[in-house]
Amino acid sequence: MRTILVILMISIPSFLFATSWIIGGGMVFGDLSGWNLSTGLVDNSYSVEAGLNFDIGKTIEGSSVNLYNFEFLAKIPLYRIDGFQLGPSVALKYGNYPIDQSSTDTTIKSGFSAGFYGSYRLENLLFDFGFLYPVIDEFDFVHSLYASVKFFVNPPEKGFIDQLFIGCDFLMGRIRIMVGLIEPF
């Protein structure tokens, strides 16, 4: 009960003061290859995104549960210069994965990383990049990199409120290709 109250006390103010809600879906490749559903809150002062990745083709041995993982990424832009932003970032990943490529046995893995990120907006393109040092796992340079590009389909000179985008990102060793929508409240 106490945990639920803490989560509500953190999430309700974030939801109330967020200016936009992001939702999307697509394909994911890496430790787990399959589908992705993502949601989050985006504001001028922070960005919080959560995703569910699942592999429909493989299941946990002895059950009908698919392989899955949850991921969480939070960014806070502390410094802004024109279209460039820089600030701290944290990422969390938790899920079950195959032990090796040919095995149907799985193992639970989790990862937590903290570091910095940068963001640059150029007309219809948004570039994000960063370095997230693993706190729980052993250091792996490739898994420590974060990169993202989003192409906004809506022309900037039009007065559209919603922002439809096509994106590709690399986070903690996985690649995601997605289509999403940023919806202001």
- What are the structural domains of the chain? 20-184 (2.40.160)
- Residue 121 burial by CB count (10 A; 0-12/13-18/19+): exposed, middle or buried? middle
CA distance 133 to 151: 27
Name the percent of the chain lying above pLDDT 70. Answer: 79
Q: Collapsing DSSP states into helix, strand and coil, what is residue 25?
A: strand
Q: Tell me the pLDDT tens digit for each residue of 129-153.
A: 999 999 887 888 988 999 999 999 8
Residue located via tokens 């592999």: 55
CA distance 19 to 45: 10
Q: What is the mean pLDDT of the chain?
A: 83
Q: Tell me the pLDDT tens digit for each residue of 25-66.
A: 999 988 778 889 999 988 888 899 999 888 866 665 655 556
Q: Is the pTM of this model over 0.75?
A: yes
CB 159, CB 140: distance < 8 Å: no
Note the Cα 117 to chain centre separation in Å: 13
Q: How far apart are the first and last CA of the chain?
A: 30
